[in-house]
Amino acid sequence: MTVNGAVNHEASTGTPAAGEAVGRVLGTQAASPLSFWVGLEPGKVVQLDDVVVTRREVPGHGPVLVAGVVTTVEARHEGAAYDSDVFLIADGALPAAVVEVAEVRVTRVEPEVFVPPLPGSQVFLAGAGDRDQALYFDVMDRRIPLGMGRDGQPLYVNFDFLDGTRGAHVSISGVSGVATKTSFATFLLYSIFHSGVLEGEAANTKALIFSVKGEDLLFLDHDNLRLDEQARSVYARLGLPARPFGSVHVFAPPRPGDPNGVPHVSARTHGVSSFYWTLVEFCEEELLRFVFADADDERAGYALLVGQVAARLKAWAEPVGEGGAIMVRGTSCRTFGDLVEMLSDQLQDEATRTDWTGAQTPLGTVNAFLRRLRSAVKPLSPIVRGDLPFYRNHVIRTSDAQVSIVDLHNLPERAQRFVVGVVLRGEFHRKESSGTAKPLLFVVLDELNKYAPREGDSPIKEILLDVAERGRSLGVILIGAQQTASEVERRVVSNSAVRVAGRLDPAESARSEYGWLPPAVRERATIAKPGTMFVAQPEIPVPLAVAFPFPAWATRPAEAAAPPARATADPFQGLPGVEDDIPPF
């Protein structure tokens, strides 16, 4: 035990070096194969998240290593009976000893002979080899750097639980603006692309990021002006280069009312393409259901009517000219508003209503459908068009660059749902038709609780459930972020092999969805600083406290250095060919 005298505990010599003895297994607290307490020697200090080891000689098995992580550290006066005794002890009038103890949660027993460590056994701060063994890093054939631990050493995640080999998907939770969820997600992507685990698949592996918070994510391929030498040294210790993403293409909606479809961005001037869907595509691909993408729409009486009208549009819409306009039963439609007005006329006319509905449908149901449809005209008109050149490349695609960013921040929430649903459906179907999981596609989606809520159903939720449950076999990996995991569909969260929490709201942290966090870690999560994340993965029994490095890429326009020189390209028709735009890795 640490017995430092009655008063002078200031004589600590600091944190011990790795491999150095720090104390002994306590005999006053029960030790088990799963946890034990350590009394610290005088002058020794351990902190939360330190990795410690002890050994026991077991007859018939030889030496058994018991390794674990410090989860609680306590200090008290031994010999004091009342709270007021602290003042007498401080004045030297009452003898007492300062005692420091630490609780250790066992992470690994090697060989697997589950016996408790014996009281009095020496406990050591883990050296490099023991630390790797305690945290299972020694058995991770493909490991991804996550950041630095509290001991200043790298921490890793097993890529087998990210690429679908043994698991897939990542769930990131935390308070908005403080938990740095998006920053961690982009660093995780960067680590995957540059750690070497992808080997020959690195250039073909893609990432699709939906950006909903300003233009901060539009500069991932620009150097960060604030990156200093200290931050660069962290990347070096993690075995990663300190540079921005090498291949990025941004897709943005057209400016409202612009006849040329110029992308609606202000800070970025290159590598940006506008995206929209022509009325021809809207009808042929039956995209009407994504106009009704709220959970409330599925519960409404007009849900069946949506599918019937979409099927009629697919059968009856005929292309007109080269601008994506259509002709439906003699009515020409060049804008989304035209299409809605045509449907309104057809459905309100008793002579034609049954042609669209397929059966007698109450007028109240039809009117409810039309009210909801009319409310979508303003948000969807910029991205559902029949008045722009049809030959223009306007489709969101992941083939142009390694990282494709879909900028949604200038769109209303209704339009954001439409874009996310249609794009995810297209990419998921593309992967299904390919018949192979390689190359992988990582999808980063913030505000997951908005697209896959706990209650209700919607077309987007169906797709996300498909991704969560079948995406692993198809090579579609979801990196979802949300403020409140308690409001996300359980099957989406439960299928995430890797779970991450940043700063948590105290009320939210008490929910059952955070049962993977031990009580002490839950409390710590409510005061975690930006850049600190708690990461749980299947192989390691306790979450790891990770500090990920400062981004080497610009996270806002003010941080962006001048872009690298590149070939001139029409920003509205996409970048040059993939072979020219993606650098070798």
Tokens matching residue 330: 């003699």
Q: Which tops the pLDDT comparison, 2 or 431?
A: 431
In angstroms, rounded to a whole number, what is the distance separating the alpha carbons of residues 331 and 84? 89
What pLDDT is stored for residue 267 in this prediction?
Answer: 85
DSSP code per residue over 335-359: BHHHHHHHHHHHHHSHHHHHHHHSS
What pLDDT is stored for residue 295 in this prediction?
Answer: 60
| pLDDT grade for 502, boundaries at 50, 70 and 90 | very high
Q: What would the pLDDT profile of 326-356 be if each residue is shown by its tens digit?
A: 999 999 999 999 999 999 999 998 888 889 9
- Phi, psi (degrees; rounded to nearest 5) at 10: -75, -5
Strand partners of residue 193: none
Q: Which residues contact 152 (CB under 8 A, 6 or more apart)?
A: none
Q: What would the pLDDT profile of 23-74 be if each residue is shown by its tens digit?
A: 999 999 999 999 999 999 999 999 999 999 999 999 999 999 999 999 999 9
Q: Helices 459-474 and 413-434 meet at what angle, rounded to 10?
A: 30
What pLDDT is stored for residue 299 in this prediction?
Answer: 57
In angstroms, rounded to a whole number, what is the distance separating the alpha carbons of residues 540 and 157? 9
Q: Which tops the pLDDT comparison, 584 or 346?
A: 346
| pLDDT grade for 361, boundaries at 50, 70 and 90 | confident
Q: pTM above 0.85?
A: yes
Q: Which tops the pLDDT comparison, 573 or 42?
A: 42
Task: Reduce the DSSP state of residue 395 to 3 states and report it.
Answer: coil
- Asked whether residue 6 carries a pLDDT value surpassing 50, the answer given is no
Q: What would the pLDDT profile of 133-150 be if each residue is shown by its tens digit?
A: 999 999 999 999 999 998
Least confident of 101-110, 293-302, 438-447, 553-562: 293-302
Specify whether the CB–CB gap between 276 and 406 falls below 8 A: no
What pLDDT is stored for residue 300 in this prediction?
Answer: 60
Q: What would the pLDDT profile of 431-460 be if each residue is shown by its tens digit?
A: 999 888 889 999 999 999 999 998 888 899
- Asked whether residue 491 carries a pLDDT value surpassing 90, the answer given is yes
Q: How far is CA 271 from CA 222, 461, 562, in A?
A: 12, 31, 14
What pLDDT is stored for residue 3 in this prediction?
Answer: 35
| pLDDT grade for 8, boundaries at 50, 70 and 90 | very low
Q: What would the pLDDT profile of 156-170 be if each residue is shown by its tens digit?
A: 999 999 999 999 999
- Asked whether residue 564 carries a pLDDT value surpassing 60, the answer given is no
In angstroms, rounded to a whole number, what is the distance separating the alpha carbons of residues 515 and 94? 44
Q: What angle do CA 209, 211, 215 make, to 5 degrees?
A: 125
DSSP code per residue over 550-582: PPSB-SSGGGBPPPPP-----TTS--S-HHHHS
Least confident of 11-15, 363-367, 391-395: 11-15
Task: Reduce the DSSP state of residue 396 to 3 states and report it.
Answer: coil
- Asked whether residue 316 carries a pLDDT value surpassing 50, the answer given is yes
DSSP code per residue over 48-102: TT-EEEEEEEETTTEEEEEEEEEEEEEEEEET--STTHHHHHHTTSS--EEEEEE
- Asked whether residue 15 carries a pLDDT value surpassing 80, the answer given is no
Task: Reduce the DSSP state of residue 439 to 3 states and report it.
Answer: coil
| pLDDT grade for 124, boundaries at 50, 70 and 90 | very high
Q: What would the pLDDT profile of 504-559 be if each residue is shown by its tens digit?
A: 999 999 999 999 999 989 999 999 999 899 999 999 999 999 999 999 999 888 88
- Asked whether residue 584 carries a pLDDT value surpassing 60, the answer given is no
Place of tokens 């002994």: 24
In angstroms, rounded to a whole number, what is the distance separating the alpha carbons of residues 277 and 287? 10
What pLDDT is stored for residue 326 in this prediction?
Answer: 93
Give me the percent of the chain exceeding a pLDDT of 90: 70
Q: Which domains can be identified in the chain, with CATH numbers?
A: 21-134 (no CATH), 143-204+225-241+395-401+408-577 (3.40.50.300), 277-385 (no CATH)
- Asked whether residue 309 carries a pLDDT value surpassing 60, the answer given is yes
Which among 450, 479, 473, 451 has a CA at the least distance from the CA of 464? 451
Mean pLDDT for all residues in the chain: 88
